[in-house]
Structure 1
Amino acid sequence: MSERVLTPRNRGFLFLDSHPAGCGQSVADMWQACPAPDPAGVPEGDEGPVALIVGSSAGYGLAATLAGLKRAGIRGVLVSFEKAPTARRTATAGWYRTAATAGLARGLGRDLVFLNGDAFSDAIKDQVADLVERRFGGRLDHLIYSVAAPRRTDPDTGTTYASVLKPIGRANRTKTLLFDDQGVPEVREVETGPAEGDDVEQTVAVMGGADWERWIDHLDGRGLLGDGFTTAALSYIGSPLTAAIYRQGTIGAAKAHLEATARTLNERLAKTVGGRAVTSVNGAAVTQSSTAIPGIALYTGLLRGVLGADTVPPVHQLAALWDQLTGAAPLALDEEGRVRLDRWELAEEVQTAVAERWAAATTDTIADLADLAWFRAEVQRLYGFSVPGVDYTAPVATDVPWPDDTH
């Protein structure tokens, strides 16, 4: 097993390697940060609800996995798409986080199976259905869908669609936050051209509700949806400050399609299994997906500057979602049938304060307006760096195996 001393090497917010020990410690830290339930409310061992989490290795999907373990005692199948270590590169961070999550689940006596593959493919859907049928009594209680991807191949047609991050109708100029190689911040204006041709349709095909509905079709076709089955797709609305590129842009069109799909699925599941389908609108967080969106890095740093420790981390939000899905807390929906876990972010006084800082943000003022140390550390922690308690001077084994227990 190869051992190396790993230091962060990055191009902007993208890091070339990931740190296995740091990724493992970040999973342990998220587990500790997740609020503990009433012990009497968590089923033991093989009595826990059977869950499928699609997109389980990063961001809100990882938070859903850990919160589901702690708050609901889930067992079941987790799907993600990660790259293995090679002679030149470490594995992706999600690979190491998955290994750590598997170790945590084993220690708890929870039966979780981790699949690595293309969640859009019917082959993975068949593999999941076989596992639910053979290993988990043929009944699925919950499905959480948390997929962010640049492209999707339609299994029926073989057509590959590509998503884009563009405004609709006209170009958008926005402030954005960058760091140079020495970590010096710069606030810069960038312009993103408008969607053209079939950009909107392509993005909706990737990030809308088509694949979520296909998962339900696949599982329902095999008779695997239990009575009272619930499913939630994770979504985001965000601030007016980022609306042109996000909620009113191509990705926003995909989110609107996701929410329309939830309404369709909700009517269907209510009739067939007495179930529910919802979208869960989560609050802002530093994720590998969000850092790619113009303006989001600046907005998130300013939001943290306003809220400080009152920022609600993903694992706390997903703990609240699991409580609602399992009936431990009432299902609280807005007028469009969405679970809203972002109210702390979109409170009027918070958005007013962030907007004032946004207007005042320049390269010269940004250090006083945003929590830059927190933001930079959060980005590094996505790849296992800057995690407290990890010795980054020590060699670490990078050839960590995928947890393979599909029998």
Structure 2
Amino acid sequence: MFSINIGNARIQGLEADLNMTGQDYSIALFTFFILYILLEVPCNILLKNTRPSLFLSVIMTGWGIVTICQGLTKSFAGLIVCRIIIGGLEAGFFPACVYLLSMYYCRHELQWRFNLFFSASIIAGAFSGLLAYAIAHMDGVAGYGGWRWIFILEGIATVVIAIGSYWFIPDWPETAKFLSDDERALLIQRLAEDRKDTHMNTWNAKTAKRIFSDVKIYLGVLMYMGIVTTSYAGSFFTPTILKQLGWTSIRAQIMSIPIFIFATVCALVSAIASDKLKHRSGFIIGGCCFSTIGYVILLNMMSVSVGVRYFALFCIVGGGYIAQPIVLVWLSNNMSGHYKVGVASAMQVGLGNVGGIIASNMFITSEAPTYPLGFGLGLGLVWLCVLSSLTFLFYIRRENRLREEGKRDDRYNLPDDEKNNLGDDHPSFRFTF
């Protein structure tokens, strides 16, 4: 809920109580991403050498506590400090979940499992709107405004859940206590067969060079940057946009609920189909095209009815949440080895979240209610995702063909320590589309 609750807090009086003016709200959104981007890769490298159950429960507890503080702050400066700290703590969460799940499931089993997890964040958009509507009635309780109670109550809930999660989050398959020895051996065997027994479990200078020079990762970053802007913009600004359709703050909260429920259904249905068909790229492009319809409508919003504008938000958010989780899994599917998957996932989410910075600043208050810059940038970035996806598809198709023709077989002649640490650069590995 943490990318959504500030949007709900905004229309419940956040800006007025903290004397925020102009682009202060956008600055508050932007500062979250400073440490979030910088700490993604270090966090996943640290995760490789620790227990996921401990690592994830600790950082979740931390950002829950700081979220409570966000509801207690008396100034804009205090809000900024809280946002920066929350960004640093959340940096270790999302790519870690991608990394951890990819260590348990074969490539064409992963999308459905990942989207079940990912859908919790989408449905939070609906639940957050409903919760914010209920909390709005607490305005004045204990002398706190309704927006403060949004942060305080959601922060308390997070701390409670985080502490309890320590006993439920699985560790790496090699040490997971819920697996018997036979189950562990079977799981490791299935994963090895799925990725052609390719590894990257040793960190050294050659490992780092292979990872940081891999063009696939940077294409994955561009894909994610393009589509995550739509997701963040939907979370940050949907309540505000709905309010500017002429609805009250409370009605705007309620009317945001169906949008995120619809997006959840889109994400789950596309995940089932993507795994069953063993196909990723077409769903990404399809989701982007769906979002395009919404952006085009809103760029011409003054010539359409309120109902059509509302429909456009379904297109934008629904299409974004079809494409975003598949973008993440598609890159992970085409990486192999502990370090390669971990660092690639972190780089994609970390560098790709430059899109979050863009989303924080593309809806300029003075342009309300039409926001031509915001909707125009959103549309352009969706098509950055499309073009990057097509380039990625072309690249891995070509690489598979070269491997079938034996033009990467020279790597079999490398020294054993390097040959056994190639990850997806190994000639036997095949990329999935």
TM more than 0.5:
no
Interval containing the TM-score (normalised by the shorter chain): 0.3 to 0.5
**Larger-gyration structure (1/2):** 2
The TM-score normalised by the length of structure 2 is 0.31
The TM-score normalised by the length of structure 1 is 0.33
Compare the two structures and name the one with the higher strand fraction: 1
Compare the two structures and name the one with the higher helix fraction: 2
